[in-house]
């Protein structure tokens, strides 16, 4: 997931630590087997610096078909 998507998970974790989801709080509103869903999406383009840091160095080859074929291992 991208960092911005982690906000929903962090919010649920914070609420859980505070007892927000306890059965006592809602007098039985929560039942065994209930589920909570966090939407986690993203492609990382909002944080390009992080993506660049994690990406390997690009392979630089001469501008020729032969060099491309060799770089691809064919």
Confidence of residue 71 (pLDDT cuts 50, 70, 90): very high
Which among 41, 9, 35 is positioned nearest to 21, based on CA atoms? 35
**Average of pLDDT values for 42-69?**
86
Confidence of residue 66 (pLDDT cuts 50, 70, 90): very high
What pLDDT does residue 14 have?
A: 93
In total, the chain counts a number of residues equal to: 74
Structural domains of the chain, count: 1
Q: Is the pLDDT of residue 49 over 80?
A: yes
Angle at 38 between CA 55 and CA 5, to 5 degrees: 30
Domain that holds residue 52: 3-71
């Amino acid at each position: 997931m991208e960092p911005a998507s982690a906000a929903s998970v962090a919010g649920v974790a914070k609420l859980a630590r505070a007892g927000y989801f306890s059965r006592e709080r809602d007098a039985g509103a929560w039942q065994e087997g209930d589920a909570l869903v966090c939407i986690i999406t993203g492609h990382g383009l909002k944080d390009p610096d992080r993506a660049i840091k994690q990406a390997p160095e690009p392979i630089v080859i001469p501008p020729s078909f032969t060099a491309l074929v060799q770089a691809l291992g064919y």
